[in-house]
Amino acid sequence: MDLRLLEEKDQTTYDKLVTHVIQSWQWGEFRKSLGLPLLRFGIFEEGKMVTAFQMTLHKIPLTNSFVGYLPKGPRPDKELSKALQQIAQDYHCAFIKIEPNIIDDGEPFRVYPTFLPSPKPLFTKFNFVLDLSPSEDQLMANLHQKTRYNIRLAQKKGVIVEERTDDQALEIYLKLYFETTTRQGYHGHSPDYHRKVWQTMKAAGMARFLIAFYSEPGTDNRQPLTAWMLLNFKDTLYYPYGGSLPIYRELMHSNLVAWKAIELGKKLKLKQFDMWGALGPNPNPKNPWYGFHRFKQGYGGKLVEYIGTYDLVVDRSLYFAFNIIDRLTTVKIFLLKLLKKA
């Protein structure tokens, strides 16, 4: 195995090999802008790069060790196992968390003994992925009947969706995103995180906003209601972040934004629309993400299952201590939320 740290001159070859926007060279530049240590590697055979990936390092408090994180990377085969073991030793990683961008096709899958099933996935194991190759008419026909009705209702009621890349659009998006996280009580990345995602990916032509506006009849007061940040890499459109206001829900503005995202994917000549995450088959209606799952389901995408999240463990004592503390912290945060609602 020939494992090498990559340089700027390797960017073109690197991007040809990786398969998800999170692994793109430009996303790595965004992660570096946050001050995170980022490592890019290539595995070479006979002088040719055959596998590429990037990962970040996260310091474990009160220790000299790190957690490595490799999201949406390559298949965890024997060569990757060897590479990550070497990296873990060289960069003092207690463990490395991997979340491969590999769909479970039902065939027997060998996980090398160095990888343990992770107790804490960061990406969902399921996702909706929509094939964009059919015509727009066929894509519309493939929607759930209620979804199609909601899109036409939004259009009839005068909701307008704009594709934007200006600074004002960023501010609108941030306002709607954080209004949503506060209202729904879930953790969202900081404003600085979103600004740097936008600035870095926009500069590469890999990001844009879709924003739904509505004006009351007889007024010029345009109210932004829903805003999505969309990313594109290679042949795929991604929907990682969005927000909306709780007003004018009867206008179904989010449904129209989702349809406009599909139209945007067609315009950009992309092959698929990755909706970033979903619940599994037969989800529990009481799950807090059930409504979001049903919303995405309405667009006719295929529910895919990934092979899962694994940890390559080097320091077992520190690894298990880390996970115990993490679980206790999670319970504490949950209890604090319950007390606030009481």
Domain borders along the chain are 2-123+306-341, 126-305
Q: Are 127 and 278 in contact (CB under 8 A)?
A: yes
Report, as an integer, the average pLDDT of 181-203.
92
Is the pLDDT score of 181 beyond 50? yes
Category of 279 on φ-ψ map: left (φ > 0), alpha (ψ -120 to 50) or beta: beta
Range in 163-167, 180-184, 305-309 the model is least confident about: 180-184
Tokens of residue 272, six digits: 């698929």
Backbone torsions φ then ψ of 178, nearest 5 degrees: -80, -25
Q: Are 229 and 210 in contact (CB under 8 A)?
A: no
The answer to whether the Cα torsion of 218, 220, 223, 229 is positive or negative is positive
d(CA 116, CA 106): 20
Backbone torsions φ then ψ of 56, nearest 5 degrees: -110, 160
pLDDT digits (tens, 9 = 90+) for 229-263: 999 999 999 999 999 999 999 999 999 999 999 99
d(CA 24, CA 33): 15
pLDDT digits (tens, 9 = 90+) for 280-339: 999 999 999 999 999 999 999 999 999 999 999 999 999 999 999 988 776 544 444 434
Is the pLDDT score of 193 beyond 70? yes
Domain 2-123+306-341 of CATH type 3.40.630.30: yes
CATH for the stretch 126-305 = 3.40.630.30
Helix 167-184 with 191-203: angle, nearest 10 deg: 140
pTM of the predicted model, to two decimals? Answer: 0.94
Q: What was the pLDDT predicted at 293?
A: 97
Range in 144-148, 191-195, 226-230, 333-337 the model is least confident about: 333-337
Q: Are 23 and 69 in contact (CB under 8 A)?
A: no
Mean pLDDT, the chain, rounded, equals: 93
Tokens of residue 157, six digits: 């009621």
Is the pLDDT score of 128 beyond 70? yes
Is the pLDDT score of 275 beyond 90? yes
Q: What was the pLDDT predicted at 109?
A: 65
Q: Dmax of the chain from CA atoms?
A: 70
d(CA 157, CA 168): 25
Backbone torsions φ then ψ of 278, nearest 5 degrees: -160, 170
Token pair 């000299």 in the structure block, residue: 64
pLDDT digits (tens, 9 = 90+) for 40-52: 999 999 999 999 9
Report, as an integer, the average pLDDT of 108-121.
82
d(CA 42, CA 54): 9
